[in-house]
Structure 1
Amino acid sequence: MEAKKCVLAVLALLVIVVEVNGGGDDQASSVKPLVKIVKGKKLCDKGWECKGLSAYCCNETISDYFQTYQFENLFSKRNTPVAHAVGFWDYNSFITAAALYQPHGFGTTGGKLMGQKEVAAFLGHVGSKTSCGYGVATGGPLAWGLCYNKEMSPSKLYCDDYYKYTYPCTPGVSYHGRGALPIYWNYNYGKTGEALKIDLLNHPEYIENNATLAFEAAIWRWMTPEKKNQPSAHDVFVGNWKPTKNDTLSKRVPGFGTTMNVLYGDQVCGKGDDESMNNIVSHYLYYLDLMGVGREEAGPHEVLSCAEQVSFNQAAPSSSSSSS
């Protein structure tokens, strides 16, 4: 009898733990959408999964087609003993950050297939920029995304005095690379902090201490144009952007290749068969396969590559690593 009571007590405890943790993978799917009709338009809010009334939240959202096990497959080596950010990056942090941008179309534009492709594209950039994979690494060089959350041995403070009136450097603070799409330089921390309403200029370390914030900063960058009259990486990928005549002459076309142009400019684009460009493309294709979409959905070479594209922005001499 005592043994039976003990078993029942353990089962009850397990039920409580599951409820507190939101049921693991079912956390987002268990949220019943709030639906409102505003001016004849259907708007939805899915709480933890898609935060804020939006038509986009009525679509299939990221956790409907991209679940914990897929995240684990994409970043399978991130918690191995030799990785540099063990225990930092996780699925919940990504979805929590994405929930703020899904109402604006991140992963929710153009139906399920386009959503899957956009998540693979965004994470392809993230994986390539945070990888410690190399040619003979266990599992292959593409299995090591999210190995880092910061630059390990910065060679300088990345303080650009040109911005001393707008984004002045805090004495003794280093603005080296941190995050999912690593942020470099005082002015980039300043701009990102303004957008996220967090004091990153004085506290850039917040990015390496909080995985949700690190993903949020990266998705903000993906969704936000670098300059006026330029598209965001999101817009060029999902087809919201219509190239001008000058864009066409510059060989800039909607698709994955131009996301690299938006994010990195002439650091990787317009340089022919560039190794860093090919590495980003390889991560994207690898992730498409692992997500069950298949790399054949990525499109032709001219859409995937920016090898021949004229860059939107030329890197300034003092900030040649600002987007690396």
Structure 2
Amino acid sequence: MRTFLTGLQQYYSRLFIAGFLLWGLALPSQAVVFQAENYTNFYDTSPGNSGGAYRSDAVDIEITNDSGGGYNVGWIEATEWLVYSGLSIPASGNYTIRLRVASPSGATASVDLNGGAIQLGNFSIPATGGWQNWTTVSRTVYINAGTYNLGVFAQTAGWNFNWIEVVGSGGGTTGLVTVYEHCNYGGWSAGFNTGSFDVNAMTALGARNDQVSSIRVAAGYEAVLFENWDFSGASVTVRGDSSCLSNFNDRTSSIIVRATTGNPPATGFSAIVSEAQFNQMFPNRNPFYTYAGLVEAAKTYPAFAGTGDTAMKKREAAAALANFSHETGGLVHVTEIAQGEYCGDWDGNPATCPCAPGKRYYGRGPIQLSWNGNYCAAGDALGLNLRADPDLVQRDAKVAWQTALWFWMTQSGAGFRPAHSSIVNGNGFGETIRTINGSLECNGGNPAQVQSRINEFNRFLNILGTTAGAGNIGC
């Protein structure tokens, strides 16, 4: 249980695959259970086995009082980790991760794949009232087919760990509509495209009768949930996302998915990130940063969140918005606080982009566009005279978003390539950080700022229902 964001060389040099290659998922609905004590590699902050049971290395193991008996890992400290090799995912789709845990006062764990290359998110462990008072915490994630090393990492101390389970959630992939077992998009999930699904069709796709509690609906579509199996009885129509169907919880027995009357199906960026999801990402944003402005700006660069499969498109959207969020304090600041002149020679030639009289080129917009040369370059690319009117970036939401996407799509900045290329070519989220501010943050320059960006990236991935993919998440 250590952070998989750094030190990957140490991780891979120590990882061994011998023993405990547990059986994989023959079908998406079957479960794999890894007992906590059957790890294939570990990091523990203290020498010796404090519990004195089962194994003689540094991991602390004791006999458990949980149902079924056996052992649990205890005396867990922050930054410790365990690895379980041979997790086989036979088909890409939704999988539920369940952790069996106990904690007197609460804690946080996280789960990932392949040494942190793929983050599966944080698990909040509630206060159970005792070291042997057990509960199960879970979350549903999308995992691509493949064989992985499964990691459990202690974000905080003060909890016991009995087992981790991975089970297919049904539905294969998310669709235009995704329904979930629990409020806040927890438990099993099942995806639906347009059509009518009675109780038999609904359950065949992985949903369960009278067990739907939350739902996500793509922009331009609506889901009609019915109380009875044959599209009769009470019903509710849902557009956008609903984190808890408070008036229709556990009542759905049939579903109709259709395009919203009078509205064409969403296309482009709006098909990847709905307005409801955007609002969930930025609940406190400045009204200047409109969703409509972003949708329009994205049409200037259709390859943005438009390259690769749906998972890749969502991944790029999450990566870009996470960096924009970090640069602006959650889309709060339209301009930088210290508004300097930012006027200098461009390409060593003062005639290339002279500063307009009385104009200042301080940071503006989601990427905080700065310096006269960048205003000239962005303006030339967008067909706008930003040298003469840099204030346009803080007056027009579409233009502000366009300048951010111009940098994201075309500029290498402090990195090796544009951020767009790093994401779609599998170089990883960390390389987008390097492009934007790598000279100050990467290679140990400011790990707290890097982690802040990573935290936002993981939060947005969870909202969009996808994963970090390949490549280093940190820089």
- Could you tell me the TM-score, scaled by structure 1's length? 0.61
Larger Rg over CA atoms? 2
For residues 155-200 of structure 1, give each alpha carbon's deviation from its aligned partner in whole angstroms, at most 9, with x where no partner exists: x211114552111111221111101101111111111111111111
User: Which residue in 2 is equivalent to 1:298?
Assistant: 468
User: Which residue in 2 is equivalent to 1:130?
Assistant: 328
The alignment status of 1:146 with 2:331, answered yes or no, reads yes
Which of 78, 83, 88 is the matching residue for 2:288? 88
Cα distance in 2 for partners of 1:273, 1:186 equals 27
CA contact (8 A) 2:439 2:445 kept: no
Matches within 5 A, 1:142-291: 145-154=330-339, 156-161=340-345, 162-226=348-412, 230-239=416-425, 254-271=427-444, 274-291=447-464
Cα distance in 1 for partners of 2:284, 2:465 equals 19
SS at match of 1:304: coil
* Residue 273 of structure 1, CA deviation: 5.5
Unmatched runs of 5 consecutive residues or more in structure 1: 1-21, 33-45, 50-60, 79-84, 132-144, 241-253, 307-324
Look up the equivalent residue of 1:113 and give its one-letter code.
Answer: A
For residues 52-89 of structure 1, give each alpha carbon's deviation from its aligned partner in whole angstroms, at most 9, with x where no partner exists: xxxxxxxxx332231111010001011xxxxxx4x211
Identity of aligned residues (%): 30
SS at match of 2:417: coil
Look up the equivalent residue of 1:160 and give its one-letter code.
Answer: G
Cα distance in 2 for partners of 1:273, 1:218 equals 23
Matches within 5 A, 1:99-138: 99-102=299-302, 105-131=303-329
Unmatched runs of 5 consecutive residues or more in structure 2: 1-219, 222-238, 241-258
Relative to its length, the structure with more helix (as a share) is 1
| Higher RCO (CA-CA < 8 Å; seq separation 6+) | 1
Q: Point out 4+ residue stretches in structure 1 off by more than 3 angstroms.
A: 22-27, 29-32
* Residue 232 of structure 1, CA deviation: 1.6
Cα distance in 2 for partners of 1:233, 1:177 equals 19
* Residue 109 of structure 1, CA deviation: 1.3
For residues 239-273 of structure 1, give each alpha carbon's deviation from its aligned partner in whole angstroms, at most 9, with x where no partner exists: 17xxxxxxxxxxxxx11111111222312222255
- Could you tell me the TM-score, scaled by structure 2's length? 0.42
CA contact (8 A) 1:93 1:212 kept: yes
* Residue 148 of structure 1, CA deviation: 1.1
SS at match of 1:298: coil
**Do the aligned partners of residues 234 and 63 (structure 1) sit closer, same or farther apart at CA in structure 2, a change above 3 Å counting?**
same
User: Which residue in 2 is equivalent to 1:68?
Assistant: 275
SS at match of 2:472: helix
Relative to its length, the structure with more strand (as a share) is 2
Q: CA RMSD in A?
A: 2.7
